[in-house]
Amino acid sequence: MNEQAKPVPTAKQKAKKQLAEAAISAVVFHIGLAVLAGAITIAVIVSRPEVTFDAKKPPSIPARKLEHSIRVKKMQEQVRKPQILQRLVSQAPSAVALPELPKMDAPDMKKMRDTPTINQSQNMLGDLGRAGGGLGRGQTGGGGFSDAQFFGQNVRTRAVIIAFDNTQTVINKGLLPQLAEETAKLLQGLSPATKFNLIAFVDGAAPLFPNLVFATQENKKKAIDALTILSTEDRKERTREARKTGAASADWNARGFVPNITGNNPEYSGSSPWQAIEVASQMEADTLFVITDDDLPNIKKGSARTGTPVEDHTRDIQKFVNDFQKTSGRSMKINVVIYKPNTKQDRAREAMSFYRSLAQSTTGKMTSVE
């Protein structure tokens, strides 16, 4: 049997066949290329490292700066906050009338000699001043502050009070002449814008002025004149009058000053600066000098012979000073001057220890005059 002969493709058929093969090859090539590209992409993504975010460490604070911050915070916590006082508020009209406000004494601005802006070039009290100057001068840093000296202590103050023991034993040691001299030195360093006062104490307190006064020439002269020691006859006369009337022999007057033999508080007896400290705090002094002897403060309720001693009197004084500083929002530096102590006696050493502790609790100092 004869095999059928295969047809011979024409040229046109050959061309179509070649075109189809080329198209198929192109499709296969592109599919392969796409598969290769996908494989490469997957390989790149898989091999890429994970992204992590690391926070930087906070800058460390140097030890000194940290210590300073802690100190500042402690000081801020220790600063006393002003006490908030309760006020009475009326919600409706009331038939009760409020009392009149107390009269406030202010310097007369029309009289230059009475004002804080007193002319520094006015005539000074020459006899009480140093060479080339007088009581009217004062070195001040502004704001009413003055720099002065008292019994060798440097003081910077806007309102100073000198409280001195006026008992017979202290005066007999010769306090008054030296006190007048030291007071003159102190007043010399006060500017007219600074305030001052003097307080004599035995078992109470007797201030020279009802309130603090500006350190004008007139007020300085009054203070010095008030410390003038009376003659022997005047002192005896005043003492006899005090014994007859039972009144205090030490009152401030133009004639001078004498020791107090009967005290200045009828309800008590003894010797103590307790009321002088209280009066100074009420007058809002920022500096208080207490001049006394080498005996502990002691007070009796009643007369010296039959009175009842006040127990723990020194503790009460310290407690008052501590409470005042905590509740008032103000500070009053107490400087103590022990006049001619007998350090060989236990009583004197005990008194000096108490006054040293009292002064240090107010950032003040205790000194002694030998």
Per-residue pLDDT tens over the stretch 193-243: 999 999 988 888 888 899 999 999 999 988 888 887 655 566 566 666 655
Q: Does domain 142-369 have CATH number 3.30.70.270?
A: no
Residue type at 325 in one-letter notation = Q
CA angle centred on 251, ends 364 and 235, rounded to 5°: 110
The string of pLDDT tens digits covering residues 74-91 is 777 776 666 666 665 556
Mean model confidence pLDDT for the chain: 76
* Nearest one of 226, 288, 231 to 257, comparing CA atoms: 226
Residue 132 pLDDT > 50: no
pLDDT recorded at residue 138: 41
Name the pairing type of β-strands 195-201 and 145-150.
unpaired
pLDDT of residue 123: 38
> What burial class does residue 122 get, using C-beta atoms within 10 Å of its C-beta: 0-12 exposed, 13-18 middle, 19+ buried?
middle
- The better pLDDT of the pair 173, 74 is held by 173
For 341, residues 6+ apart whose C-beta sits below 8 A from its C-beta are 293, 294, 348, 351, 352, 368, 370
Question: Is the pTM of the predicted complex or chain greater than 0.75?
Answer: no
